[in-house]
Chain A
Amino acid sequence: MKDIRILLSGNPNVGKTTLFNALCGVHQHTGNYPGVTVDIKEGKRQINNHNIIVSDLPGTYSLSAFSPDEQVARDALLTSNPDSIVQIIDATNIERNLFLTTQLLEIGIPMVIALNMCDLADEQGISIDIECLEKCLKVPVVRIVAREGEGIDKLTDAIISVTEKKTACKHREIEYPHSITTHLSEIGDYLSSSASLLGNLSPKYAAIRLMEGDEHLEKMLHDNGLVIPFIDKCDPAERDGIAEDVLLARYRTAEEIMTCSVKCTMGRVMPADLIDQVLTHRIFGIPIFLSCMWFTFQLTFSASAPFAVAIELIFGYFTEAINSIEMNPFIRSFLADGIIGGIGSVLVFVPSIFIMFLLLSILEDTGYLARAAFVMDRFMHSMGLHGRSFIPFLMGFGCNVPAIMATRTLQSRADRIITIITIPFMSCAARLPVYVLFAGVFFGAVAGNVIFFLYILGIVVAIVTALAFRRFVFKGEPSPFIMELPPYRKPSGTAAGIHMWYKGREYLKRAGIVIFGGVLVVWALASLPAGVEYGSAESLAGSLGQLLQPMFTPLGFNWQLVVALIFGFIAKEVVVGSLGTLYGGEDILESSLAADPTLSPAIALTFMVFVLLYLPCVAALGVIKQEIGSLKWTAIAVGYGIITAYIVSFITLHLASFIMGA
C-alpha cells in the first residue's frame, strides 16, 4: 500500500471541507461562509493499493498570508512537501480563484484542479472549456460537485495519476516582464548555492517569493548571513514597484486563462444581486436578521415542546417504576434522584438543542448568515469590533470553543483579543436548557420572548465590552473588513440534518460523560453525610451552598442555585442536571421550582442573566488561554466575566422587580 499525501487548498468558501468529507467519508463541519476551517484537518481514503492521506487547509486568497489561518495554509503548502496539491476552484468565480492557482503552479509540486460547484455554474450560464483550461494550466482539471459527491472518483484517479508521473510538475509558467526575469535568474542562481536553507522551495520559486516581498523568507536568509543580490540594494519604493509587477503578471495570466476557457451566456444580473439589494439593505438588513433570529428561538422553544414532554413522561414513568420497587432507600435515591433525575433533566432539552442547530444550519447553508455578517459590519465597526468577528459570534451560539478558535481569521491581535473576550457572552447551546427551564416555569406564554431577550442581552454586553476595550485598552480603529459573499443555495436537508446530528451528538456525549459525572457528584453531596434528608440544607451540598450563598444574597439566589452555578463551571449543561438532583428529580423539577417560595420571576430572570454572563466553561477557558497565549488575558477574561455577570444581574433583579411589581 503506497501512501499519497495531498493538500486541499483554495480560496475561502469554495467547498474544500465538503470535498474533504466526500473524499474521506467523514463529516467535518462545513459552512456557506468563509473561515469555517481555521486549522489543518487530516483524513484518509484507500483506493487501488493507495492510501490517500488528505489534509484540509484553511482557505486563502494568496500565499502572502496575513491572518493566522492563512499562515497555517501557507506554511503547509510551502514546507510540508506533499505528493500533490489539489486546488479547489469555485466554477462560478474562476478568475478570482485563478490568482491563487498562479502561485500554486510555481511551487512545483504535482497539482490537480477540482472545479467545484459546476452545477451552479451551469445554472448561471457559465460555460467552462475544461480541455482548454487544462492546456492553459498544464494541469489536470476535474469537474466536480462536492456536495453531491459527483466527480470524486475521477478526481482521485487524477490525483494518483499526477503523483505517479512526476513529469506533471511542468506547469504553465507565469510570464513576468523582462525587467523581473533578469533579476529572478540572478537571485535564483545565487540561492542555488544555499539550497539547503530553502527547505522544499526551489531556488527559482524562492526568488519569485523574494521579489513578491516575502518578509519571512528574506529574514530567514538574512539571519543566515546571506546578502540577497538585487533585493538588498532596492529601496522600499522600488521593492513595492517590483511586487506590483509580479502581482500584475499573475492577474494578467489569470485573465488570459479565463478569457480562453470561460464563456458566460446569460445576463450579468444574478438573482443573488437582486436579493442582496434587500437583505443587505442599510435600513431593512438588520431588522430582517433580528426577525429571523426571533423566529429561530421561538421555534426552538415551541417546536421542541412536544418532544420534551414525551421525554419527561418517559423519565417520570422510570422514576415511578423505581419508587414502586422494594429496595434500600439509599440505592433508590441514587437511581431515582441521582441517575434518572440528573440525566433526565438534561436529556429533556436535547430536542431544543437539535432544533436550534437544525435552524442555524439551514440559515448558514442558504448563505444568509454571511449577509448577516455584512449588514452587521457597520454596526459592529462603530462598536469597536471587526466585521469578521460576527462569524465567531454566530458560531458561539452553538459552542464557544470552536467560536474562539474561529477568531484565527482575524488579522489584528487586538481584534482577536477583543473578540475572544466577548465570545463567552454569546449564549452557547449548553445554556439553552437553563433558559428553557426557567423561562418555561416562570414566564409561560412569553418564554420564547424571554429567551430571545437573553440572546440579545448577550450580544449587547459583548458590544459594550468591545467598545470599552477598544476605547481604553486597544486604542485605534478595527482593521477594515473585506468578505466575499457566498452564493445563495437551496438548503440541503441532508447536510442540515447531518450538521444537526453531529452538533447534537456532541451535547449527548457531554451529557453522557461530564454531565453524568457532575450530576453524580452533586447527588453524593446532596446525600451525605449519611442520615440527612436528601438535598436538604444539612447535606454537604447544602452546606457548600449556604457557605457561598451570602455572596449571592444581593442577587436573590437560594443555596440550590448557588450549588448549580458552582458545578456549571465544569460545563453549563450541569446547571440543570444539578438542579434536577437537588430538587428531587427531573419529573418534579418544574413544579418544585414553581412552588419554591424563595424564587420569583425576577429572581429566575436574574439567574438566567447570571448563567448567560458568568464564567465560560472549563473547555472554553482552556481554548482562550491557548488562542491568546497569555495567562494575564485569560485571567482578565475570567474576572471581567464574573464582575459583569454580577453587576448586570444585580441591575436585572432590581429592574425586573420594579417592572413586575408594578
Chain B
Amino acid sequence: MSEIVYPHNYLYGWTGIVSVATFIAGLLAILEGAGIVTGIYILPDIPGGCILILLSAVFGTAYHKGRTDRPGWISFSYIASLFLLIFALCSVLIQGGNYLAVIMEGEEADALTIISSSFIWAAIIAIPLYVGVSKLLYKCSCSGDRCE
C-alpha cells in the first residue's frame, strides 16, 4: 500500500499534535480530579478528562487512517475537532453558570475558573485543524475523490 503525499502535510501533521495535546489535557484533568497532581491551572474533572482521552483516540485514529485513507482522515479529524470545540463551548457555559450562581448567592468566586477547563486549551490547539478539514470535507464530498 503506497503512502499518500498530501498538499496539506502540515494539516495532517497537526492532527498528530492535536491528538497528543488532547491526551495530555485529558490526563491532567483526571490527575487533578484524583488529587494526584495539584497546583496547575486546570479544572479537576475525571469524566471530562475521559472524554478528552476519547477525543484524543479519535484524532489518533484520524492520523493513523490518514496514511492510506484520505477521506477517513478528514472525517475523523473533522468530527473530533468539531466535538472538541462544542464541548469547550459547553465547558465555558457550565463554568460560567456555576460562577454566576455563586456570585448571585453572595459568595466569592474566581472568574478565571470559567476558562480553566482543559477542554478550552485543547480546543484552541484544534481550531486550525477544524478550519482546514472542514474545507477539505466540503471539497471531498462535492468533488468525489478530489479531497484537496
Interface residues of A (CB under 8 A from B): 125, 266-271, 273-275, 277-279, 284, 287-288, 291-292, 294-295, 298-299, 302-306, 308-310, 313, 448-449, 452
Instruction: Check if B68 is an interface residue, CB within 8 A of chain A.
Output: no
Per-residue A-contact encoding for B79-110, CB less than 8 Å = 1, 0 else: 11001000100100111111011001100000
Which stretch, B10-18, B34-42, B69-77, B124-132, touches the partner chain A? Answer: B69-77
Residues from 128 to 148 in B contacting A, C-beta threshold 8 Å: 137-138, 140-145
B15 to chain A, nearest CB (A): 13
Assess A298 versus B94: contact at CB under 8 Å? Given A306-B100, A449-B47: yes
Does A278 lie within 8 Å of B137, measured CB to CB? no
Q: List 17 A-B contacts (CB under 8 A).
A: A266-B143, A267-B145, A269-B141, A269-B145, A271-B141, A274-B75, A275-B78, A278-B58, A278-B75, A279-B79, A291-B54, A291-B83, A295-B87, A303-B94, A305-B100, A306-B101, A309-B105
Does A270 lie within 8 Å of B141, measured CB to CB? yes
- Indicate the size class of the contact surface on chain B: 35 or more
Q: Which residues of B contact A273 (CB under 8 A)?
A: 141
Q: Taking CB as reference atom, which chain B residue is nearest A269?
A: B141
Contact partner, B76, options A278, A292, A306, A448, Cβ 8 Å = A278
Q: Which residues of A contact B71 (CB under 8 A)?
A: 269, 274, 277
What is the bound-complex CA distance between A267 and B143, given in angstroms? Answer: 5
Does B54 lie within 8 Å of A308, measured CB to CB? no
Does B141 lie within 8 Å of A267, measured CB to CB? yes
Does B101 lie within 8 Å of A275, measured CB to CB? no
Contact partner, A288, options B54, B78, B97, B143, Cβ 8 Å = B54
Instruction: Check if B31 is an interface residue, CB within 8 A of chain A.
Output: no
Q: Which residues of B contact A291 (CB under 8 A)?
A: 51, 54, 83, 87
What is the bound-complex CA distance between A278 and B96, given in angstroms? Answer: 30
Residues from 54 to 75 in B contacting A, C-beta threshold 8 Å: 54, 57-58, 61, 71-72, 74-75
Does B97 lie within 8 Å of A275, measured CB to CB? no
Does A302 lie within 8 Å of B98, measured CB to CB? yes
Assess A274 versus B54: contact at CB under 8 Å? Given A291-B87, A302-B94, A305-B100: no
Q: Which of B51, B74, B80 has the most CB of A within 10 A?
A: B51
Q: Which residues of A contact B95 (CB under 8 A)?
A: 302
Q: Which residues of A contact B94 (CB under 8 A)?
A: 298-299, 302-303, 448
Contact partner, A310, options B61, B76, B90, B104, Cβ 8 Å = B104
Does A295 lie within 8 Å of B104, measured CB to CB? no
Q: Which residues of A contact B58 (CB under 8 A)?
A: 278, 284, 288
B74 to chain A, nearest CB (A): 7
Does A305 lie within 8 Å of B144, measured CB to CB? no
Does B144 lie within 8 Å of A267, measured CB to CB? yes
Does B90 lie within 8 Å of A299, measured CB to CB? yes
Contact partner, A313, options B54, B78, B104, Cβ 8 Å = B104
Does B79 lie within 8 Å of A275, measured CB to CB? yes
Does B137 lie within 8 Å of A271, measured CB to CB? yes
Q: Which residues of B contact A268 (CB under 8 A)?
A: 144
What is the bound-complex CA distance between A448 and B101, given in angstroms? Answer: 15
Q: Which residues of B contact A274 (CB under 8 A)?
A: 71, 74-75, 78, 137, 140-141
Q: Which residues of A contact B96 (CB under 8 A)?
A: 303
Q: Which residues of B contact A284 (CB under 8 A)?
A: 54, 57-58, 61
Q: Which residues of A contact B75 (CB under 8 A)?
A: 274-275, 277-278
Does A294 lie within 8 Å of B101, measured CB to CB? no
Assess A303 versus B141: contact at CB under 8 Å? Given A278-B58, A295-B90, A313-B104: no
Contact partner, B144, options A269, A295, A313, Cβ 8 Å = A269
Does B97 lie within 8 Å of A305, measured CB to CB? yes
If over half of B's interface residues share one DSSP class (helix, strand or loop), that class is named, otherwise mixed; here it is helix
Assess A303 versus B97: contact at CB under 8 Å? Given A269-B141, A274-B71, A274-B137: yes
Known contacts A266-B142, A275-B78, A277-B72; 19 further A-B pairs (Cβ under 8 A): A266-B143, A269-B144, A274-B71, A274-B74, A274-B75, A274-B78, A274-B140, A278-B79, A284-B58, A288-B79, A291-B51, A295-B90, A298-B90, A302-B93, A305-B97, A305-B100, A309-B101, A313-B104, A452-B47
Q: Taking CB as reference atom, which chain B residue is nearest A268?
A: B144
Contact partner, A306, options B78, B104, B142, Cβ 8 Å = B104
B116 to chain A, nearest CB (A): 13
Does A305 lie within 8 Å of B101, measured CB to CB? yes
A129 to chain B, nearest CB (A): 21
Top 6 nearest A-B pairs by Cβ distance? A267-B144, A305-B101, A274-B75, A306-B100, A302-B97, A278-B79
Q: Taking CB as reference atom, which chain A residue is nearest B62?
A: A278
Q: Which residues of A contact B143 (CB under 8 A)?
A: 266-267
Q: Which residues of B contact A308 (CB under 8 A)?
A: 101
What is the bound-complex CA distance between A198 and B26, given in angstroms? Answer: 68
What is the bound-complex CA distance between A303 and B97, given in angstroms? Answer: 4
Q: Which residues of B contact A287 (CB under 8 A)?
A: 54
Q: Which residues of A contact B142 (CB under 8 A)?
A: 125, 266-267
A502 to chain B, nearest CB (A): 23
What is the bound-complex CA distance between A435 and B51, given in angstroms? Answer: 23
What is the bound-complex CA distance between A33 and B118, given in angstroms? Answer: 34
Q: Which residues of A contact B137 (CB under 8 A)?
A: 271, 274
Q: Taking CB as reference atom, which chain A residue is nearest B87?
A: A295
Q: Which residues of B contact A277 (CB under 8 A)?
A: 71-72, 75-76
Q: Which residues of A contact B105 (CB under 8 A)?
A: 309
What is the bound-complex CA distance between A306 and B97, given in angstroms? Answer: 6
Q: Which residues of A contact B47 (CB under 8 A)?
A: 294, 449, 452
Q: Taking CB as reference atom, which chain A residue is nearest B90?
A: A295
Q: Which residues of B contact A295 (CB under 8 A)?
A: 87, 90
Q: Taking CB as reference atom, which chain B residue is nearest A267?
A: B144
Q: Which residues of A contact B100 (CB under 8 A)?
A: 305-306
Does A294 lie within 8 Å of B51, measured CB to CB? yes
A160 to chain B, nearest CB (A): 40
What is the bound-complex CA distance between A273 and B96, given in angstroms? Answer: 36
A123 to chain B, nearest CB (A): 9
Does A303 lie within 8 Å of B93, measured CB to CB? yes
A121 to chain B, nearest CB (A): 14
Q: Which residues of A contact B141 (CB under 8 A)?
A: 266-267, 269-271, 273-274
Q: Which residues of B contact A305 (CB under 8 A)?
A: 97-98, 100-101
What is the bound-complex CA distance between A273 and B147, given in angstroms? Answer: 14
B48 to chain A, nearest CB (A): 8
Q: Which residues of A contact B78 (CB under 8 A)?
A: 274-275, 278
Q: Which residues of B contact A292 (CB under 8 A)?
A: 83
What is the bound-complex CA distance between A452 and B51, given in angstroms? Answer: 14
What is the bound-complex CA distance between A43 and B72, given in angstroms? Answer: 47
A282 to chain B, nearest CB (A): 12
What is the bound-complex CA distance between A274 and B137, given in angstroms? Answer: 8
A418 to chain B, nearest CB (A): 31
Does B93 lie within 8 Å of A299, measured CB to CB? yes
A591 to chain B, nearest CB (A): 12
What is the bound-complex CA distance between A275 and B75, given in angstroms? Answer: 6
Q: Which residues of B contact A269 (CB under 8 A)?
A: 71, 140-141, 144-145
B103 to chain A, nearest CB (A): 8
B30 to chain A, nearest CB (A): 14
What is the bound-complex CA distance between A448 and B104, given in angstroms? Answer: 20
A269 to chain B, nearest CB (A): 5
What is the bound-complex CA distance between A394 and B70, given in angstroms? Answer: 35
What is the bound-complex CA distance between A235 and B87, given in angstroms? Answer: 61
